[in-house]
Structure 1
Amino acid sequence: MNKKLKLFGLILFLLFSGNELRAQESFISDISYPYLEKLIAIAKKNYPEVKVRQSQVAIAKSALNQSKALWLDAFTASYIYSPKNSLNLITPTIFNGYQLSISVNIGQLLSKPSAVHSARESLNVAQYQQQEYLLSIEAQVKRLYFAYLESQAELRVRASAVLDGETAVKQLKYSFEKGETTFQIYNEALTSLYNQGSYKVQAELAMLTAKANLEEILGVKLEEIK
């Protein structure tokens, strides 16, 4: 009788422990912050959107340098050559030889400070956007890494539940064949084992999906990261 009670208690555990098992496994101890920092560095190096932000900053820097150089556009230099032994009755000149003249476009000269300021602000915007995205991708890597660890912990729970269920079913099968338990209890154990197997398959899919999501932002397989 005592043995039957133990077997019945085991069946109850299998039938009702599906949701409670989740609380028995923690992934906190699996977290490696040095490894996480490595993942963040790899994502910042490989993810295409990061490279887009870098290119935008480079373009903005180039535009700023170009706007500074365009100051010279407001000035126009020219020269006039008057031979020493020539007489120009239309536009008589005092000096002979080469004469240099410089003209200034006041409108262009006054517009340059505004253009330089605008280019500098565009560079600031590009840099702020780059900094914002780097913070965003860092947070995203952390979330995906934690989700991957959580899915691994969940899979361990489900795999352990399947092993426990298989052990219980074997014991109940032996007891049923000896007439020590009913077919109903044995059948409930089989049903519970089937459910735990289904939960395990779902946990495997969740783990593979979490791994794929993390690898997508890293640009490399986790197996390649030492």
Structure 2
Amino acid sequence: MKTLYILILFLLSTVALHAQESFVNEVNYPFLDKLIATAKKNYPEVKVRQAQIAAARASLTQSKVLWLDAITASYIYSPKNSLNLTNPTFFNGYQIGFSVNIGQLLSKPFATRVAKENVNIAVYQQQTYNLTVEATVKRLYFQYLEAQADLRNRARAVTDGEIAVKQLKYTFQKGETTFHDYNESLTSLYNQNSFKVQSELAMLTAKANLEEILGVKLEEVK
């Protein structure tokens, strides 16, 4: 009966730990904002979006200048003391002429408008991706906190299991507990240790996933 009471107490304490442990109160929103800012600064895809905006703006500037391509300038030099019977001229010296390609000139406003829209598209794409980065960082940060909380649960369960095993070992040595009950407590402790190892792996994986988008170690974010 005493053995059964110890086992029940151990199980209830483990369940209580799982029920009481929560990571919600550990969410550090100022730190989360720093994580988001770090990801936006370091993540390569964010830099790609920024480069696309710069390229689109450069194309817009270029389109505003290229309208000059529609205008062609030329000059003719006629010496004062020369006589050209084939192409007679009434003026001497340098003569400058201009020609305009109407088709190119009319197409330039449309090219500029397209370039402006490409800038807008690049900006909208960056804004959309920034929202994606923010959501991803939050999700990975919460998963990391959850993994830490679960690991604490497992660690406490192992500690409780070790206490229960010691108590059952003592009662077993006194002949107050059967070997079967003592062996069951050892098996339970072994399982709790296995769960703890799995939780450690989950926590490290969650940390690695978060650091992947941050571009730096989590400890480096101050």
- Shorter-chain TM range is over 0.9
Residue 167 of structure 2 corresponds to residue 209 of structure 1? no
Q: Deviations over 1:85-122 (max 9, x none)?
A: 22221111111111111100011111111111111111
State the superposition RMSD in angstroms. 1.6
Q: Which amino acid letter does the alignment assign opposite residue 164 of structure 1?
A: D
The alignment's TM-score, normalised by the length of structure 1, stands at 0.93
Deviation at 1:21, TM superposition (A): 4.2
Q: Which amino acid letter does the alignment assign opposite residue 178 of structure 1?
A: K
SS in 2 for 1:84: coil
Task: Provide the identity percentage.
Answer: 70
Give me the whole-angstrom Cα distance separating, in 2, the residues matched to 1:76 and 1:225.
58
Contact kept? 1:176, 1:186, Cα under 8 Å: yes
Match of 2:45 in 1: 49
Question: Which consecutive unaligned segments of at least 5 residues does structure 1 have?
Answer: none
Match of 2:182 in 1: 186
Give me the whole-angstrom Cα distance separating, in 2, the residues matched to 1:18 and 1:198.
15
Q: Which structure 1 residue ranges, 4+ long, deviate > 4 Å from structure 2?
A: 15-21
Give me the whole-angstrom Cα distance separating, in 1, the residues matched to 2:171 and 2:45.
62
Contact kept? 1:18, 1:196, Cα under 8 Å: no
Give me the whole-angstrom Cα distance separating, in 2, the residues matched to 1:18 and 1:100.
95
Match of 2:64 in 1: 68
Of 136, 151, 163 in structure 1, the residue corresponding to residue 132 of structure 2 is 136
The alignment's TM-score, normalised by the length of structure 2, stands at 0.95
SS in 2 for 1:101: strand
1:67-216 matches, cutoff 5 A: 67-216=63-212
Question: Which consecutive unaligned segments of at least 5 residues does structure 2 have?
Answer: none
Give me the whole-angstrom Cα distance separating, in 1, the residues matched to 2:147 and 2:154.
10
Match of 1:37 in 2: 33
Residue 24 of structure 2 corresponds to residue 24 of structure 1? no
Aligned residues: 222
Q: Which amino acid letter does the alignment assign opposite residue 168 of structure 2?
A: L
Give me the whole-angstrom Cα distance separating, in 2, the residues matched to 1:76 and 1:183.
103
Deviation at 1:126, TM superposition (A): 1.0
Q: Could you tell which deviates more after superposition, 156-165 or 8-17?
A: 8-17
Deviation at 1:18, TM superposition (A): 6.0
Give me the whole-angstrom Cα distance separating, in 1, the residues matched to 2:9 and 2:188.
10
